[in-house]
Amino acid sequence: MDILKYCKREEADPQYMWDLSALYKTEEEFEKAVKTIDLMADDFKKNYENKLKSADVIKNAMDDYRDIVANIDRIAHYASLDVEADGHNEKSQKRSMTTFTKIADIENKMSFFETELVQVDEQTLEEVKNDTNNTRYIDDLLKKKEHILSKEVENAISKFSQTFSSFYEIYNTTKIHDITFPDFEVNGKKYEMTYNLFEGVYDNDPDTDLRRKSYEVFYNELAKYKNTTAMIYLSHCQAEKAESELRGYDSVIDFLLDRQNISRELYDRQLDVIMQELPKHMRKYAQIIKKEYDLDKVTFMDLKLDVENSFSKNISVEDARNLVKDGLSILGEDYSKMLDRAFDEKWIDFVNTFGKSTGAFCASPFLAHPYVLISWTGKLTEAIVLSHELGHAGQSYISQKTQNVLDNDPSMYFVESPSTTNELIMSRYLLEKATTDQERRYLCGQIISRTYFHNFVTHFIEGYYQREVYKLIDKKEGFTADDLSRIFKETLQKFWGEDVEINEGSELTWMRQPHYYMGLYPYTYSAGLTIGTQVSKMIVEEGKPAADRWLKALALGSTQDSVGIAKAAGVDITTDKPLKDTIEYIGKVIDDIEKYDK
């Protein structure tokens, strides 16, 4: 069976599909678990509401709270992963909706916990903190004390939690189910169009006629949904602003950064330094593409092209497994065993099926192993994408061995560091193995076009645009689809200058990403890659000592903030040096592309 062929889920090869039985073996087991957790929440409310008076009672409550949260996490992943794999499956959709309605109800029953806990005298809480499982949670609770509202208001907000989170679901439903694309024809040949085909195949196809026609077809269809998508996004932003004001924040940006335990200074610095110092390097890269493909001009439609495309290699899943294991062997035997488990136990979903979520991601349920979704294209670069997602898997796998469910997930600011560290270790490994200048040039091109373009350009531009949108929200101004398109186009023009033509339709790129419904997520890609660039360099140059530091840093979970975890790995992000060094490295790789030119 051809893994590259698009088909219905039931027609795909099970060998290349993930196995969710590590979560629940049967539907009956899952349904029983949901009922059990509901009863656990009832008992929690009965046993602890208005009774959090002594350290011993609170410690018992914390144990029970962690148990419930871990089990909620498990049922949530089971319901959502099935939909991510096949959004066309009506049974899975209904299960997901029912499950998340039940989860909202369970969380509402437990909403009293934080509001009552924060009222407990500090001496008692200090005693609770003596149990190290409770330390970070209590410290964070006290930090946000001034933003926690009355029990009644918190309960009301909790009741609306599913409504507030529904904007992402509405966006995703529109994207996956409602938006369909027509077939198109280029030079007498017909082509099928889907989100995954456009983003994984056509947008970097070396055939200029095919590539540019696919852009035209894709964006023309996308434009039909721009007003609906803008209204969904506006509603989401207004809900965030309303909650930020209720909690006493002057800015919705500060409200969202507080969730990441990151200062406004670090956030603004990441965006402003990149916009100031990176464009000159990427504009030079754009001119390399122009020369490479003999283009009369470089447009937005050409930026995803590969350098040295004639060298492009195909790779099987099995060969990619061996390549990833070899490339990441520097991280040690335990890490290598984890990689074997990922393939042997079917953590990864490779198949190309209709209704499958676009892109690639890693999900990390606490009471099971991680899961990775990827739509396999057979290109060599998929090994790098795979190493990226397995970097996420490695972080959760390591931290869950040492941290409890409340302490295992690091800040969003840091979350892309493990993945991009892996990605760069793999790229450096492949460069070291290269035997010709053509291959070296190709790999340098991949480092820019995949790793840095994705994180330091695509998601940076999204993050810069997102900040401008939230500035409107902070001023109590609404926006339309045309406003969003204008802001996005202005951001593109500011970055690319006169070197790249921002063709019609490009301004609608804001419609393509779900990240805007996940708080201040886009900018964290470049933040994580800044750390990842420095860590991967140290690991490759120092070997085991740096790798050991990194693995210990990953084990910290959220017990330290991003500054502390980065410091444990040997990177000081309190200054702009790591960021500027990373931008300098990007410039060097682009220079190497020219150096290795035939």
Q: Please report, as a single letter, which amino acid is at residue 241.
A: K
Last residue of a domain, one of 121, 146, 171: 146
Pick the closest to residue 546 from 424, 456, 382 (CA basis).
424
Structure-block tokens of residue 324: 């990833």
Structural domain includes residue 457: no
Structural domain includes residue 33: yes
Last residue of a domain, one of 102, 123, 146: 146
Helix ranges, 293-380 (H) = 317-327, 333-344
Structural domain includes residue 32: yes
Structural domain includes residue 272: no
Structural domain includes residue 212: no
Structure-block tokens of residue 47: 């046993």
Written in H, E and C, the secondary structure of 223-247 is HCCHHHHHHHHHHHHHHHHHHHHHC
* Number of domains into which the chain is organized: 2
DSSP state of 520: S
- The length of the chain in residues reads 598
Q: Three-class SS of residue 129? A: coil
Residues forming beta bridges with residue 299, ordered by sequence position: 501
Per-residue confidence (pLDDT) for residue 128, from 0 to 100: 96
Provide φ and ψ at 124, rounded to 5°: -65, -40
Distance CA 593, CA 316 (A): 27
Identify the residue whose tokens are 């100031």.
276
For helices 417-433 and 437-446, angle between their N-to-C axes, nearest 10 degrees: 170
Domain residue limits at 394: 315-442+529-564
Per-residue confidence (pLDDT) for residue 441, from 0 to 100: 95
DSSP state of 19: -
Per-residue model confidence as pLDDT tens for the chain (598 residues): 578 888 899 999 999 999 999 999 999 999 999 999 999 999 999 999 999 999 999 999 999 999 999 999 999 999 999 999 998 899 999 999 999 999 999 999 999 999 999 999 989 999 999 999 999 999 999 988 899 999 899 989 988 888 888 999 899 889 888 899 999 999 999 999 998 889 888 999 999 999 999 999 999 999 999 999 999 999 999 999 999 999 999 999 999 999 999 999 999 999 999 999 999 999 999 999 999 999 999 999 999 998 987 787 889 999 999 999 999 999 999 999 999 999 999 999 999 998 898 889 999 999 899 999 999 989 888 999 999 999 999 999 999 999 999 999 999 999 999 999 999 999 999 999 999 999 999 999 999 998 999 899 999 999 999 999 999 999 999 999 999 999 999 999 999 999 999 999 999 999 999 999 999 999 999 999 999 999 999 999 999 999 999 999 999 999 999 999 999 999 999 999 999 999 999 999 999 999 998 6
Structural domain includes residue 46: yes
**Who's near 160: CB < 8 A, 6+ residues apart?**
none
Beta strand 371-373 pairing with 361-363 = antiparallel
Residues forming beta bridges with residue 353, ordered by sequence position: 7
* 381, 313 contact by CB (below 8 A): no
Task: Identify the CATH number of the domain in which residue 33 sits.
Answer: 1.20.140.70
What would you measure as the largest C-alpha separation in the chain, in angstroms? 78
DSSP state of 190: E
Q: Three-class SS of residue 314? A: strand
Last residue of a domain, one of 101, 126, 146: 146
* 234, 481 contact by CB (below 8 A): no
Pick the closest to residue 82 from 368, 377, 355 (CA basis).
355
* 88, 353 contact by CB (below 8 A): no
Pick the closest to residue 441 from 304, 300, 280, 312 (CA basis).
312
Structural domain includes residue 496: no
Q: Three-class SS of residue 191? A: strand
404-to-136, 358, 359, 558, 565 alpha-carbon distances in Å? 11, 31, 29, 10, 17
Provide φ and ψ at 159, rounded to 5°: -65, -25
Structure-block tokens of residue 336: 């290598």
Per-residue confidence (pLDDT) for residue 1, from 0 to 100: 58
Structural domain includes residue 100: yes
Structure-block tokens of residue 420: 């991009």
Distance CA 33, CA 452 (A): 42
pTM: 0.92
